[in-house]
Chains A and B, each alone.
Chain A
């Protein structure tokens, strides 16, 4: 424990020195860790089926998860004060990498999302921005009176819009929307007046049709496909028709683990990545999906508890935003696969195959744990 930061608040008899447990000793939240491990294990099982019962991808994914856990552990060790102090600088570096992408980015399928660090690795600045933006905003609000004043709201919106736009024009609409959400959650939790929130939502609804003209053709096609997948059943509609078919044909208990025909006969596209919940729905049915949703909800619930227990504005806003952003992942992915949201490339947390998002997710929960386990006092 970093005793430097422990301060006794004067005149506060209710506050006592917090008890320390084994989790606190290594700066981990045990319930959260357990939930993460259960979800990861469940995810690996689904992945094992989705890849056609090959062990190599599962091992590769497990390694990524272990690395992720390692990253989480390291991040949890570092006090939130450090993050808070570094926040503006980290944000600046994040913005610079986003700008660099426009000059040095690797172009894949017409969009630039990756930056090559010569000799080391490729990394995706937008992925890290998912954590950096709430960090920056939490820093921005931590020493300000809340609920925020109008000009603070304005400047925080500026802070949000810069990275969101940079990412939206890569183009990567899905990620930019999630990053926007992560920033807006900070604002919402900071206590922006409900009037402003509902006005913004109202404005959004009203300007929605105008948005149509801003969208690119493929984005419009995705929305049209959502409304009527049958308009191009072999093309744009194929994914969504097949994923709904996979899910629907699972029924209550599913076709049995490894017995999904939609995925194993390759009707279901992206069955190992973005559309993996269709595999779950097909093989383990409604029950399997509900179990996963309950696990997510428990994890989010734990995140909410940790956020509420956080002792300062910075910790609260950061933890709350990370927790709710996690839900956005879950909702957007599942909504997309089950045909209630347009197709955007968002993986299903801890289940979809792929490394980048796993690291960000564990890092996010590492921040939550850092905030939680570096408390000076218990309530």
Chain B
């Protein structure tokens, strides 16, 4: 049955088999040792690495974001608070079909492609699974209700509430308070990741930016054990956040509203300062925008409309806008002339309506110059030169003083330098000097340049806030106060890096009296023969209950050719002159100083002065209803 050969083969076969199985088993043992080595590497050699990773998984430090400090005006009115905002979030892991869910949501709620794009990019940036990702921000009550109806059909979609910045006064206060914005990628690189963990917004503009450190508060945290779905299993340790500091600003909301109303629909700005403190009482720049739009993310179209608007609503004219000061500079030039002895109160010129440098053909005209030769102010001393705003007097005075001396005195009033303590956007204007012209244009300073400076034109630029500050210094008779938004609540203001100015001493009272008196006449000198009234009297000075010192000005937008009369109607509206008016009141004990600019407004006395009057009226005549004080009194009675 079984052949011997087959038997021999059997033993041969079993030898081969034995050899093979030993080799295989050897390989198998080696492979097993390889696995052992692998586990030795993971568990012994790399233990620390993986133990840390495991704890990182399990233990999450959850930031407890602080509540941002509130901002009040001087009367205790809220300018910036925090209100709950409802976001729609999706946890992708809990959603079966993301596209279908998005489509479903899109049919029920407003949902743009942009929203979806943003959502998808946020999904990509997640740190761990089961993190809810916001899809829509700032749901309205109706949207929440709408969503609730569909909710059962949409697992993984939730409505979350979060406190976000809210500006109750909206557009009216935006340029005074500034605003927060969502932290974007470049912010994230700049900001301290720990301090801002859990915080979505950062002060980007104005007071919100300057006092960011104090407003933010300090972040708390809780150490929690979570599962992979992000569910908190237990709290291991916690450290509560401390809320940001509340700030009280000098701003007076009702004054701000009055200034805003006085400007109406015109582009322009009002900056009012309390001379005693330098506190900014009102800071209006029109047009503005609603800062609440930016808090939770503005849609591209609305943003583009704001950004590209010809009226530049995002631009804070009061602190960033740089304009020629025009004739508003004349009181300061006059003051400098008196102090330096380059003129005196009795010095009188005969004004033909034009001025010409001795070796030049060019005519510098007065504002009431006529081609017929009928212009001019006749006999003009310094006082009249101010209240009639006579250019010719100041052309001559400026030339006599020379640019260096002018610069010395103008810089004492803060021109060419930013002195605003706590508005980061504030710009420094331009005070032209010989060096500046040499550096920027490679040209020497010509006497003609000095002529222009004499009436606040040429290359000189100021911001409305700078001009208001200079007027404050005049109101204070030389005592400097740095302009500021903050009344109380933070020490950060001390750390402001802007230069602190020295008060202007050495100017004798009679000189102040003369210049301030002349400014008073700008408003109050009236009922005179033609050409003898204060320039602003006809517009604002006739039924005034208090004494105001003021000065009008116009800043040129386009140059007018020699021999041409200025005719506003011929120019396009945007090319009209900017109307300036600066003022302080009451004259004997000033409580407010201001600068008003109406862009393309035309003549300063006619168009800017009434705005100034309205603001001063409000401040001096209606401010008795001070809500903050009423509250304090009520408290005392209790």
Contact = CB atoms under 8 A, between A and B. Distances in A.
Given A191-B17, A248-B46, A265-B57, A297 B51 contact: no
Contacts of B20: 188-189, 191, 320
A247 interface: yes
A324 B28 contact: yes
A266 B227 contact: yes
A100 interface: no
Given A247-B43, A265-B225, A338 B35 contact: yes
A300 B26 CA distance: 12
Contacts of B42: 244, 247-248, 281, 338
A289 B39 contact: yes
B626 interface: no
A261 B54 contact: yes
Contacts, number: 139
Contacts of A307: 17, 21
Could you tell me the dominant secondary structure of chain B's interface residues? helix
A338 B39 contact: yes
B31 A290 contact: no
B227 A147 contact: no
Interface string A249-274: 11110000000011011110000000
Could you tell me the dominant secondary structure of chain A's interface residues? helix
A347 interface: no
Nearest to B123: A234
A140 interface: no
B229 A266 contact: yes
A127 to B, nearest CB: 23
A164 interface: no
A247 to B, nearest CB: 5
A99 to B, nearest CB: 32
| A147, A234, A290, A312: most-surrounded residue (chain B CB, <10 A) | A234
B53 A320 contact: no
B227 A189 contact: no
Nearest to B58: A261
A372 interface: no
Interface string A68-79: 000000000000
Nearest to A261: B58
A245 B54 contact: yes
Interface residues of B, number: 45
B43 A248 contact: yes
B631 interface: no
Contacts of A251: 43-44, 47, 51
B50 A146 contact: no
B128 interface: yes
Interface string A136-155: 00000000011100000000
Contacts of B55: 249
B50 A245 contact: yes
B38 interface: yes
| B32, B36, B49: most-surrounded residue (chain A CB, <10 A) | B32
Contacts of A188: 20, 24
B350 interface: no
A249 B21 contact: no
Contacts of A296: 32
Closest 9 CB pairs of A and B: A248-B50, A249-B54, A265-B227, A266-B228, A191-B16, A286-B43, A248-B42, A267-B228, A249-B50
Given A245-B54, A297-B32, A338-B38, 6 more contacts: A9-B7, A245-B57, A248-B54, A265-B57, A266-B227, A290-B36
